[in-house]
A and B are shown apart, each in its own frame.
Chain A
Amino acid sequence: MTDLLWLVIALPLFGATINLLFGKRIGEPISGWLGLGFVGLAWAIAVPATLSLVSGSAHPETIYLFSWIPAVGADIAILWDPLAALMTMIVTGIGSLIHLYSIGYMRGDERYPRYFAFLNLFIASMMMLVLAANYAMMFIGWELVGLCSYLLISFWFTKPSAAAAGKKAFIVNRIGDWGFLVALMIVFASFGTFDFGAIFASGPTVITVGTATAITLLLFVGAVGKSAQIPLYIWLPDAMEGPTPVSALIHAATMVTAGVFMIARSAVLFEMAPVTGAVVAIVGTATALLAALIAIAQTDIKKVLAYSTISQLGYMVLGVGVGAYTAGVFHLTTHAFFKALLFLGAGSVIHAMADEQDMRNMGGLAKKMPITFITMGAAWLAISGMFPFSGFWSKDEILGATFARGGGFVVLWLIGLLVALLTAFYMTRLFVMTFMGKARWSEDVHPHESPASMTIPLVVLGFFTVSAGFVNTPVRLAFEHFLETSFEGVPHIEGLSFGLFSALAGVTLVVATAGIVWGWHKYSRAELPAEDGTFWQRSRAAFGVDDFYGRTIVAPGRKASEWAAETMDTKVLDGTAHGVGSGIRGLGDVLARFQTGQVRGYAGGVAVAGVVLIVVFLVVGGGI
C-alpha cells in the first residue's frame, strides 16, 4: 500500500498540469470534476495506508523515491508515520470537500479551469510538505504552497486590492521563509544532512543547546510567517480577497497549519531549547489575544473569520510551545474541520446574499438557509469550546497542558482563558447578526439555500465538527497513542489527573458560556448596538498595525527603491555605459589623426619600424 503513496503527490500535480494545459478546451464543469477526481483519488489511496497505521498492523517507514541533490544528501523520500498520515487525511479529505464545493461556487467564472489547476497544485505542494522525509523536500513544499496561495489569493487579479493582497501574502511569507532558510543552513552545518531520521536520532548528542536554540528560533520565524503569528499575521486578513473556498482550504484548514506541523515535526529539536519554547508560547498567546480583540469589531463576515483563524493558530502555537505537541496537533485537526465549515458556510451565505459580506446587512437568515444555519451552528459551538463539540476537547487540552507546566505559564493560561471568552463572544456576535433577529437586507436580495454541491460538504464537515473531539478524551487518549510513534524522543508531559483536568475544563466551559450569553444578549435585540466607542473604532481598524508597517518599513523601502531607480540606475549605471562609449569615441578621434591618407607617410612608418625591429632582433639575438 505504501508503494503507491507517491501518487498522493503525483496525482494532484498531474491534475494541475492537465487543467493548466487543456483547461480551456475541457471547459467548465468537467475541469472541476477532474480536479475533484484527482484529489479524491489521492485521498482514497492514502486511506488504506492510514488505516493500517491506525490499527497498528503497519509501522512508520521511509519510502525512498529518487535522489535529488546527492551532494547534500537531499533525496525525494516520503516519511510515512502517524503525523504525516493524519495531515494527509486532513488535506486530501477537506481538500476534496472544498473541490466539490468550488464546483458550484465558482460556476460562471471565466478562469474556472485555471482555478482548479491552482487548487490541485496547492494540494500537491501541501502533500510534498507534509510527506517530506527531509528538510529540503519540506522546504520545496513550503515555498510551493506560498506560491499557490499567492496565485489563489490574487485569483481575481483584475481587482487591484486582490492583486495587492496576493503580493502582500507572498512577500510577508518570504520574510518568514528567510528564517527557515537560515535555520536549514545551520542544520546542514551542524548535522551534514537534511534527513529527519538522522537529525532527530543524533540531535541531543551532536549539537549544543545554543545551536538548537538558534535553529529552533529561526524555524519559528518561518512558522510565524506561514502561520500568521505576530508580527507577520498582516497578510491573512487581506487574503480574504480570494474566493471563499480558497480561504477555507488555505487559510483555515491547511496552509497556515504548515507552520504548526513543521514545529511538531521538529519536536526533538524544540525539546532541546526550552528558551525557544517559552518564546513560542508567549508569541502564540499574544497573537491569540490581539486577534481576538480585533475580531470583535469587524463587520465583514470573512474578516471576523480571518482574525479568528489567527487567534486559533495562536492557540496551536501555544500548545506546541509548551511541549504539548499532540494537543497542538489535535487542535489543528478539530480547527481544520470547524473553520473550514465556517468559511464554507460564510461562502454559502455570501453566495445567497449576492456577494454581500457586511453582517450589518444580514440577519434572519435562519429560515431561508436551514442547512447552512444548522451546520454553522455546530461550528459556532465548537469554536466557542462548548461541550461536547470537538473544539471543547482540543482547546481544553492545550489550556490544561499550559497550566500543568506551572510557573509563569499560569499567566499564559489566564490569557488563554480570556481569549476563550472573547472567542465565544465574537463568534456568537457573528452567528446572531447573520442568522437571527430581523432581516436587514434590501428588497432586491433573495437569499436561498445553496445547491447540493455546496451543502453536502457543509454536512460532512458538520459531522466531523461534532464528533472529532471524541478521539482524544481524557478517558481514552486514542489520538495521543496514535501519534506516539511520531514523537519518539520527546518527553511526555505529565498528564493531568482526571480531576484537575475536569476542574480546568469546567472553568473554561463557564467562561465560554458566559461569552455566548453576553454575545447573545447584546446582539439579538431588535436594533443592532452601535459600536462606536474608541475601543470599537480602534479594533475595527485592527489597531493600526498595517499603517505602522507602512510608515516604518514600506515607505523607506519605497524611497530606497526610487533612489536606486533614479540615481543609481539612470545616473550612475547608464552614465557609465554612455561614458565608456564616448570615451572610446574620443580615443578613436585621437587615433584617427594617424590616418593621414598619405602613402609616403605610411611608407615612412614602415621604414622606421623596420629599422627598429632589426635593431631589436640584433640586440635580443645577441648579435651585437
Chain B
Amino acid sequence: MAEAIVFIIFAAVALVGAVSMVSASNPVYSAMGLLTSMFAIAVLYVVLDAHFIAAVQVIIYAGAVMTLFLFVIMLIGVDKSDAYGTQVPLQRMMTAIVAVGLFGAIALAGRAAWITGSNAFGTPGLNGTAEAIADELFGTWMVVFLSTVMLLTIAAIGTIALAYFKGAPDAEVAE
C-alpha cells in the first residue's frame, strides 16, 4: 500500500519533470525539469529495492551529469527565440502521434509478449546492496567492467582533445 502511494506520487513527479523538460523554452528550465525527473526515478529505484543504483543515480546522474549540462548551458547561453523549430507542417502533431504510437507499442510488447513472469512485486531474495552488485560486477562481469574503465578513459581523452579544437578551419575552407 505504502509503495503504491509512493509510486503514484513520484511517478507523477517524474512525468511532470519530463514534460516540462520537453516544453520549456528556457533551457535552464528544461535542465531543472530533468533533474527533478531523475530524483523521482531515484526514489522509484529505492521502492524497487535497488538501493545502490538509487545512490549511484543521484550521485552520478543528478550530481555530475546534470551539473555538467547546466555548466554548458550557462556557457553557451540561452536562446529563447528558437525554442520550437518546425520545418514540416504539422510537425508537432506528427511527433505526438509517433510518441503515442511508440508508447503503445512498447507497452503492448512489454506486457503482452516479451516480459513474462510472475508479475509480482518485491520478490524476496533480491538484494540490492552494494555488496551484491559488487559480487556480480567483479566476478562474472569483470571484463565488461574493465571495458567501461577504458571507455571512460577514452572519453576523457576525447574531451580534452576536443577542448583544444581551436575553431573553424577557415584556412582549409577558403581554398
Direct touch of chains A and B (CB < 8 A) = yes
Give me the interface of A with B, judged by CB distance under 8 Å. 598, 600, 604, 607-608, 610-611, 614-615, 617-618, 621, 623-624
How many whole Å from A456's CB to the nearest CB in chain B?
84
3 interchain residue pairs of minimum CB distance: A623-B113, A614-B105, A611-B101
How many whole Å from B117's CB to the nearest CB in chain A?
15
Closest B-chain residue to A621, C-beta based?
B113
A237 to B112 alpha-carbon distance, docked (Å): 95
A618 pairs with B98, CB closer than 8 A: no
- For the complex, would chain B's binding face be called helix, strand, loop or mixed by DSSP majority? helix
How many whole Å from B103's CB to the nearest CB in chain A?
9
A618 to B85 alpha-carbon distance, docked (Å): 34
B98 pairs with A615, CB closer than 8 A: no
B98 pairs with A608, CB closer than 8 A: yes
Chain A residues with CB below 8 A from B22, complex form: none
A610 to B102 alpha-carbon distance, docked (Å): 8
A611 pairs with B102, CB closer than 8 A: yes
Q: Does B109 contact A (CB under 8 A)?
A: yes
A614 to B101 alpha-carbon distance, docked (Å): 10
A623 pairs with B108, CB closer than 8 A: yes
Chain A residues with CB below 8 A from B87, complex form: 598
Contacting A at CB under 8 A, from B100-147, are: 101-102, 105-106, 108-109, 112-114
From B98, B105, B113, B114, give the contact of A604 (CB < 8 A): B98
B109 pairs with A611, CB closer than 8 A: no
Chain A residues with CB below 8 A from B101, complex form: 611
How many whole Å from A509's CB to the nearest CB in chain B?
102
From A598, A607, A624, give the contact of B102 (CB < 8 A): A607
A614 pairs with B98, CB closer than 8 A: no
Chain A residues with CB below 8 A from B105, complex form: 610-611, 614-615, 618
A624 pairs with B98, CB closer than 8 A: no
Chain A residues with CB below 8 A from B98, complex form: 604, 607-608, 611
* Sample of 14 further A-B pairs with CB below 8 A, known A610-B105, A617-B113: A604-B98, A607-B99, A611-B101, A614-B106, A614-B108, A614-B109, A615-B105, A617-B109, A618-B108, A618-B112, A623-B108, A623-B113, A623-B114, A624-B112
Closest B-chain residue to A623, C-beta based?
B113
Of A600, A611, A621, which is in contact with the most chain B CB atoms at under 10 Å from its CB?
A611
Chain A residues with CB below 8 A from B114, complex form: 623
A474 to B32 alpha-carbon distance, docked (Å): 131
Chain B residues with CB below 8 A from A608, complex form: 98
A618 pairs with B113, CB closer than 8 A: yes
Closest A-chain residue to B87, C-beta based?
A598
Chain A residues with CB below 8 A from B109, complex form: 614, 617-618, 623
Chain B residues with CB below 8 A from A611, complex form: 98, 101-102, 105
Chain A residues with CB below 8 A from B102, complex form: 607, 610-611
A615 to B103 alpha-carbon distance, docked (Å): 12
How many whole Å from A578's CB to the nearest CB in chain B?
34
Chain A residues with CB below 8 A from B112, complex form: 618, 623-624
A266 to B99 alpha-carbon distance, docked (Å): 90
How many whole Å from B149's CB to the nearest CB in chain A?
30
Closest B-chain residue to A608, C-beta based?
B98
Can you report 9 residue pairs joining A to B where beta carbons are below 8 Å apart?
A: A608-B98, A611-B98, A614-B105, A614-B106, A614-B109, A618-B112, A621-B113, A623-B113, A623-B114
Contacting A at CB under 8 A, from B36-89, are: 85, 87
Chain B residues with CB below 8 A from A614, complex form: 105-106, 108-109
Chain B residues with CB below 8 A from A618, complex form: 105, 108-109, 112-113
Closest A-chain residue to B102, C-beta based?
A611
A618 to B87 alpha-carbon distance, docked (Å): 33
A352 to B105 alpha-carbon distance, docked (Å): 106
How many whole Å from B32's CB to the nearest CB in chain A?
23
Chain A residues with CB below 8 A from B113, complex form: 617-618, 621, 623-624
